[in-house]
A and B are shown apart, each in its own frame.
Chain A
Amino acid sequence: MSESNENLIVMSGIYKSFPGVQALEDVYFTLKAGEIHALVGENGAGKSTLIKVMTGVEKQDQGTIILRGEEVTIKSPQHAQTMGISTVYQEVNLCDYLTVAENILLGREPHKFGRIDWKATNIRAKQILQELNIDIDVTQPLGSYSTAIQQVTAIARALEVASAKVLILDEPTSSLDAHETQQIFRVMEKLKQDGVGIIFITHFIDQVYEVSDRITILRNGKLIGTFQTETLPRLELIAKMIGRILSDLDDMTATKLETSKNIGEETLLEASDLGLTGSIEPFDLEMHAGEVVGLAGLLGSGRTEMAKLLFGIDQPDSGSMNIHGKLVEKYSPLDSIDRGVALCPEDRKDEGIAEDLTVRENIILGLQAHMGWMKYLSLQKQYELADKYIKLLNISTPSPDQPVKNLSGGNQQKVILARWLATDPQLLILDEPTRGIDVGAKAEIQKLVLSLAEEGKSCLFISSELEEVLRTSHRIVVLRDKKKIEEFTGEVGERAIMHSIAGGE
Chain B
Amino acid sequence: MVHRAKTFVVKNGPLLTTIVIFILVYIIGGLLYPAMQKPQVFFNLFINNATLLIVSIGLTLVILTKGIDLSVAGMIALTSAASAALLQAGMSAWLVIPLMLLMGIVIGFVMGWIIHYFKVQPFIVTLMGLWFARGMAYIITLTSLTINDGIYRSLALTKIYLPFFGNAYIYPSTLIGPVLLIVVFLLATLTRFGRTIYAIGNNEQSAILMGLPAGRTKLIVYSFGGFCSALGGIVFSISLLSGYGGYAPGMELDAIASVVIGGTLLTGGIGNVIGTLFGVLINGTIVTILQFNGTLSSWWTRIAVGGLTLIFIGIQSLFYMRQKHS
Interface residues of chain A, those whose CB is within 8 Å of chain B, are 77-78, 81, 93-98, 102, 106-107, 109, 115-116, 118, 141, 143-144, 157, 161-162
Total B residues in contact with A, Cβ cutoff 8 Å? 23
Q: By CB atoms of chain A within 10 A, which of B186, B192, B270, B324 has the most?
A: B192
Closest to B187 in A: A115
Q: By CB atoms of chain A within 10 A, which of B199, B201, B269 has the most?
A: B199
Task: Tell me, in angstroms, the Cα distance from A505 to B269 when the chains sit together.
Answer: 49
Other A-B contacts than A107-B211, A162-B211, 16 sampled, CB-CB below 8 A, are: A81-B211, A93-B209, A94-B206, A95-B199, A96-B202, A96-B203, A98-B202, A106-B192, A106-B195, A106-B212, A116-B192, A118-B190, A141-B323, A143-B323, A161-B210, A161-B211
Select one of A93, A98, A141 contacting B205, CB under 8 A. A93
| Chain A CB within 8 A of B167 CB | no
Are A143 and B192 also in contact (CB < 8 A) when A93-B205, A93-B210 are? no
Contact A115 B190 (CB under 8 A): yes
Select one of B198, B211, B326 contacting A98, CB under 8 A. B198
B residues 25-42 near A (Cβ < 8 Å) are none
| Chain A CB within 8 A of B207 CB | yes
Q: By CB atoms of chain A within 10 A, which of B190, B269, B326 has the most?
A: B190
**B270 surroundings in chain A (CB, below 8 A):** 97
Type the 1/0 row for B204-218, where 1 means its CB is closer than 8 Å to any CB of A.
011101111000000
Task: Tell me, in angstroms, the Cα distance from A309 to B155 when the chains sit together.
Answer: 71
**A78 surroundings in chain B (CB, below 8 A):** 211
**B326 surroundings in chain A (CB, below 8 A):** 144
**B191 surroundings in chain A (CB, below 8 A):** 115-116
**B324 surroundings in chain A (CB, below 8 A):** 143-144
Are A107 and B192 also in contact (CB < 8 A) when A78-B211, A93-B209, A97-B269 are? yes
A287 to chain B, nearest CB (A): 39
A190 to chain B, nearest CB (A): 23
Task: Tell me, in angstroms, the Cα distance from A440 to B211 when the chains sit together.
Answer: 46
User: Can you list 22 A-B pairs with a CB-CB distance of less than 8 A?
Assistant: A93-B203, A93-B209, A95-B198, A95-B206, A95-B207, A95-B210, A96-B202, A96-B203, A97-B198, A97-B269, A98-B195, A98-B198, A98-B199, A106-B192, A106-B195, A106-B212, A107-B212, A109-B195, A115-B186, A116-B190, A118-B190, A143-B323
**B201 surroundings in chain A (CB, below 8 A):** 97
Task: Tell me, in angstroms, the Cα distance from A47 to B203 when the chains sit together.
Answer: 26
**B192 surroundings in chain A (CB, below 8 A):** 106-107, 109, 116
**A98 surroundings in chain B (CB, below 8 A):** 195, 198-199, 202, 269
**B203 surroundings in chain A (CB, below 8 A):** 93-96
Going nearest first, the 9 A-B pairs with the smallest beta carbon separation are A95-B202, A115-B190, A93-B206, A93-B209, A97-B269, A95-B199, A97-B202, A116-B190, A97-B270
